[in-house]
Structure 1
Amino acid sequence: MGRIVLYDQTNFNGNWKQFEYDVPDLAVDMFVKTAKSLKVEGDHWVAYQGNNFTGEFVVYGPGDHDQLGSMNEQIVSLRLVREKLGNPNIVLYQDVNFNGQSRDVEEEVGDLKKGGFPALVSSHRVKEGVWLLYEGVRYTGNRLITFKGDQWANYIQFSWNDKLSSLKPLKSSDFEV
């Protein structure tokens, strides 16, 4: 079980709201783009800058986050990470619709080309865990997050076809990603 408490001031001061469930739009709870600090208990939470879990995001792990940096007064939606974070596994496919060469990945890869994946990636399936996908090598550039059970058949719809360069699983020890 996870819980997140958002505060409208740094260092856990001011008005606050507590959540134990996904929130696709904080405007409904009158707390959109208000948070300046937060506390996480239990499982990780993903804070997004867009409605319905879209846009830029930061993953917050258990603990006290007294300032939010780039997410200061930017949080619009929240998603609780319910997935188990041990034994991560994602299958990458060369072509859309899970075709072409494929490879199971169970650990972070800072450069897919050097990591032995001979072709570009156009689709994936997440078997276990939560994965952060990066457009640049060594976890740089634009990024996406994908969860256990996700099946992205065509990266073209995300403007990501043949752009995935590195990826890593979310770990239970991650404080902020």
Structure 2
Amino acid sequence: MSGKIIFFEERNFQGQSYECVSDCSEISSYLSRCSSCRVESGIFMVYDQPNFTGQQYLLTKGEYPEYQNTIGFKDCIQSCRMVPVHKGLFKMRIYEGTNFEGQTHELTNDCDSFKDHYQMSDTQSCNVMEGHWLMFEQPKYEGRMFYLRPGEYRNLRQMSGDDLSFNSIRRIKEA
């Protein structure tokens, strides 16, 4: 299933619009600003900076007439990435230290608190083997989030751009 998101310059779906059906590294190439959006199908990760950087937020099918208040962005959406729907098993390993060092645990399901379930004081690297995941700054899937695709992440704090600590994780499944 493919995705489709429509960005609007003004709040409440007003002004110029831009339809996006894949990744877009710089929405400002199409609109002067983006102040509301509508996800017609699929799942999208949106970013407050160009080139898939900065603060991130996951959007599922629905309307976002004034998303700044809803998702906590101070500014406009600047880039977006379509999240492929993963069918099948989810599998990843989390590590307490950078470069896959220290205590490790294998995950196949959501975890609302690394500290409570695994007695891990920190999670600084991971290896995503199957599926797409959303890691959160706070327990119980709260706070800032970070999108993880299959691959190796040797230093999560460095990659997040602002020295985030991660405390919970959820699988990204079809909405």
In the superposition, the TM-score normalised over structure 2's length comes to 0.81
Candidates 90, 94, 97, aligned match of 1:88: 90
Alpha-carbon RMSD across the aligned residues, in angstroms, is: 2.4
C-alpha distance after superposition, 1:109-159 (max 9, x if no partner)? 221121134463221011222222223222333432211x23111235243
Equivalent position of 1:98 in the other structure: 100
Alignment of 1:115-126 (within 5 A): 115-118=117-120, 120-126=122-128
Q: Distance in 2 between matches of 1:141 and 1:60?
A: 15
Q: Is the Cα contact below 8 Å between 1:41 and 1:62 reproduced in 2?
A: yes
Alignment of 1:14-29 (within 5 A): 14-29=15-30
Q: Is the Cα contact below 8 Å between 1:103 and 1:117 reproduced in 2?
A: no
Determine whether 1:42 maps to 2:41. yes
The count of residues paired between Structure 1 and Structure 2 equals 168
- AA at the equivalent of 1:108: D
Determine whether 1:52 maps to 2:51. yes
Q: Is the Cα contact below 8 Å between 2:45 and 2:56 reproduced in 1?
A: yes
Secondary structure at the residue paired with 1:109?
coil
Q: Is the Cα contact below 8 Å between 2:85 and 2:174 reproduced in 1?
A: no
More helix by share: 2
In the superposition, the TM-score normalised over structure 1's length comes to 0.80
Q: Is the Cα contact below 8 Å between 1:101 and 1:119 reproduced in 2?
A: no
Equivalent position of 1:140 in the other structure: 142
Q: Distance in 1 between matches of 2:45 and 2:95?
A: 26
Q: Is the Cα contact below 8 Å between 2:136 and 2:167 reproduced in 1?
A: yes
Identity over the aligned pairs, expressed in percent? 23
Consecutive unaligned residues of structure 2, counting only runs of 5 or more, are none
Q: Distance in 2 between matches of 1:3 and 1:131?
A: 20
Give the Å deviation of 1:88: 2.8
Consecutive unaligned residues of structure 1, counting only runs of 5 or more, are none
- AA at the equivalent of 1:21: S
Give the Å deviation of 1:89: 2.4
